[in-house]
């Protein structure tokens, strides 16, 4: 197999490998951020703030329908990383073959279901009348191109599992340029507004999927990767579902929880919705490191678990979460200082700016706790132990964030909803630290290396 761009997480300094692996993902996250940011910038310049609110609120139902399948893509990544760590070439081929079929099994139904489900979800979200038509158009158009989104993320997961995190960056560079050009052309020149933004996003993601297929076929011919499905290997199918489905259901329920939270946001009116939306652009930019380091943590855990390098897992479980939290806090404080110049790129509406600036301060001062939580969760997920992380994710949202948001809304006021986030982040972080310290199954896993080392030492002494 071609190893020129792969990173072996079972050898060498842990954080050096993590950062080398994470850096292309962070750059890719920046490009993905440009997708939504350019959308918002173009809409803000050529349309009014209700269009900004429409694009912002429409992202929530899109995530609900896509996240379950993106979770399955994460399951593929974990399985591929374990096969790679164990040197199981047949397992790699079977996992990739099954993943290709998954794209079609997921993408086509999502497009159909999304078209009919979009109005129901938007009604549930209590989308205001002045935002409704644009929100519905954006949701339906983006979901019609769901197969490109699912296909790209599935292939990116395969490449991450192999240790190749650079390739996805190249795919995103191409699709981001296409997205920006189409945004300006369809919205600025042709005056299509929100539908033009949705079309640009769908076309660009479909292109990223096609390019990723060509790359895998040429770079890793031994995987026998194809564009069209060639069947499903049952053992791999079950393994992918056992790991990916809980993550996907968790992601979907998590996103649905955001929809429930969005109903409280929408109840505050389109000005508040717009402020929330542009604040998300700043917080998203400040937290690029979280996803990159966490993705690296999943691959690190999967490869070392597959290679039975429990000693490195034990070291990584401390170093990686601490580094993720520290880096996220540093970026957060920096972007708090420069929040107003960035927010003014999107709008000059004074009320929207004030609301967005306050949300940025609250979110970025506590996001480091989420970074620690997410890194620990990804390390645990990489070993295939996804039940506890799924439970804590759901509790963090449904048992902590949403109830606290409703209480804040009733007792203090809807304009202070953002305070529900630090409460939930703290709960998630403490729960995952507790898992590392007190879980019998995790402590047993960490003890496997000591037991094995003791036996080998005794044998050597003889």
Cα–Cα distance, 388 to 390 (Å, whole number): 5
Q: Which two tokens stand for residue 152?
A: 């790209």
Give CA angle at 215 (214, 221), nearest 5°. Answer: 90
Q: Give mean pLDDT, residues 104-118.
A: 83
Cα–Cα distance, 292 to 302 (Å, whole number): 16
Cα–Cα distance, 76 to 158 (Å, whole number): 6
Is residue 6 a part of any domain in this protein?
A: no
The closest of 452, 461, 459 to 314, measured between CA atoms, is 452
Task: Give residue 461's pLDDT.
Answer: 38
Helix, strand, coil percentages for the chain (3-state, nearest 5) = 85, 0, 15
Helices and strands (H and E) in the chain: how many: 18, 0
Cα–Cα distance, 304 to 449 (Å, whole number): 12
Q: Which domain holds residue 290?
A: 14-451
Percent of the chain with pLDDT over 70: 91
Specify the residue for token string 């967005």: 356
- Give the C-alpha distances (Å, rounded to integers) separating 444 from 436, 450, 451: 11, 10, 10
Say yes or no to pLDDT of 1 above 70. Answer: no
Specify the residue for token string 């997920």: 381
Q: Helices 89-124 and 49-86 sit at what angle, rounded to 10 degrees? A: 160
CB 380 within 8 A of CB 344: no
Task: Give residue 65's pLDDT.
Answer: 67
Q: Using 50, 70 and 90 to split pLDDT, how confident is the model at 35?
A: low
Task: Give residue 187's pLDDT.
Answer: 85
Is residue 456 a part of any domain in this protein?
A: no
Q: What is the mean pLDDT of the chain?
A: 83
Is residue 460 a part of any domain in this protein?
A: no
CB atoms within 10 A of CB 11: 12
Is residue 8 a part of any domain in this protein?
A: no
Cα–Cα distance, 409 to 443 (Å, whole number): 41
Is residue 385 a part of any domain in this protein?
A: yes
Q: Is the pTM of this model over 0.75?
A: no
Is residue 370 a part of any domain in this protein?
A: yes
Is residue 7 a part of any domain in this protein?
A: no
For residue range 68-93, what is the model confidence (pLDDT) as tens digits?
A: 777 777 788 888 888 888 888 888 89
Count of structural domains, the chain: 1
For residue range 185-194, what is the model confidence (pLDDT) as tens digits?
A: 998 788 788 8
- Give the C-alpha distances (Å, rounded to integers) separating 189 from 178, 184, 193, 259: 15, 7, 10, 33
For residue range 229-272, what is the model confidence (pLDDT) as tens digits?
A: 888 888 888 888 887 777 777 777 766 676 677 778 878 887 88
Cα–Cα distance, 369 to 428 (Å, whole number): 8
Cα–Cα distance, 172 to 30 (Å, whole number): 10
Task: Give residue 455's pLDDT.
Answer: 43
Burial, 7: exposed, middle or buried (Cβ in 10 Å; 0-12, 13-18, 19+)?
buried
The closest of 241, 200, 261, 284 to 61, measured between CA atoms, is 261
Give the lowest-confidence range in 4-8, 54-58, 171-175.
4-8
Is residue 3 a part of any domain in this protein?
A: no
For residue range 187-226, what is the model confidence (pLDDT) as tens digits?
A: 878 878 888 888 988 898 899 899 999 999 999 888 888 8
């Amino acid at each position: 197999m071609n190893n020129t761009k792969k990173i072996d997480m079972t050898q060498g300094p842990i954080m050096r490998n993590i950062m080398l692996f994470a850096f292309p993902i962070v750059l890719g996250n920046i490009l993905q951020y440009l997708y939504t940011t350019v959308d918002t910038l173009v809409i803000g310049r050529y349309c009014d703030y209700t269009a900004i609110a429409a694009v912002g609120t429409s992202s929530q139902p899109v995530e609900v329908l896509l996240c379950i399948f993106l979770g399955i893509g994460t399951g593929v990544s974990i399985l591929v990383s374990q096969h790679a760590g164990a040197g199981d070439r047949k397992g790699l081929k079977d996992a990739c073959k099954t993943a290709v079929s998954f794209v079609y099994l997921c993408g086509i139904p999502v497009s159909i279901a999304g078209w009919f489900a979009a109005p129901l979800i938007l009604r549930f979200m209590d989308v205001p009348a002045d935002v409704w038509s644009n929100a519905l158009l954006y949701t339906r158009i983006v979901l019609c191109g769901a197969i490109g989104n699912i296909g790209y993320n599935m292939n990116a997961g395969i490449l991450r599992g192999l240790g190749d995190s650079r390739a996805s960056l190249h795919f995103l560079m191409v699709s981001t340029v296409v997205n920006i050009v189409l945004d300006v052309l369809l919205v600025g020149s042709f005056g299509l507004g929100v539908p033009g933004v949705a079309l640009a996003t769908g076309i660009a993601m479909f292109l990223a999927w096609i390019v990723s297929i060509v790359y895998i076929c040429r770079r890793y011919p031994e995987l026998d990767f194809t564009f069209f499905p060639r069947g499903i290997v049952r053992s791999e199918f079950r393994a992918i579902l056992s790991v990916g489905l809980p993550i996907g259901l968790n992601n979907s329920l998590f996103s649905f929880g955001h929809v429930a939270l969005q109903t409280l946001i929408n109840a505050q009116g389109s000005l508040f919705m717009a402020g929330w939306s542009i604040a998300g652009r700043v917080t998203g930019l400040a937290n690029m490191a979280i996803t990159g380091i966490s993705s690296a943590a999943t691959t690190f855990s999967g490869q070392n678990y597959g290679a039975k390098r429990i000693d490195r897992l034990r070291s990584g479980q401390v170093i990686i979460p601490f580094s993720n939290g520290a880096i996220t806090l540093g970026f957060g404080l920096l972007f708090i200082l420069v929040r107003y110049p960035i927010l003014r790129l999107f709008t000059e509406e004074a009320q929207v700016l004030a609301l967005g600036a306050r949300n940025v301060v609250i979110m970025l001062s506590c996001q480091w706790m989420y970074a620690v939580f997410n890194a620990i969760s990804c390390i645990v997920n990489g070993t295939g132990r996804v039940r506890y992380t799924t439970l804590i994710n759901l509790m963090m949202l449904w048992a902590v964030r949403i109830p606290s948001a409703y209480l804040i809304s009733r007792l203090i006021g809807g304009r202070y909803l953002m305070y529900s986030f630090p409460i939930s982040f703290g709960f998630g972080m403490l729960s995952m630290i507790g898992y590392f310290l007190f879980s019998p199954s995790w402590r047993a896993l960490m003890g496997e290396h000591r037991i094995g080392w003791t036996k080998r030492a005794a044998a050597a002494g003889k």
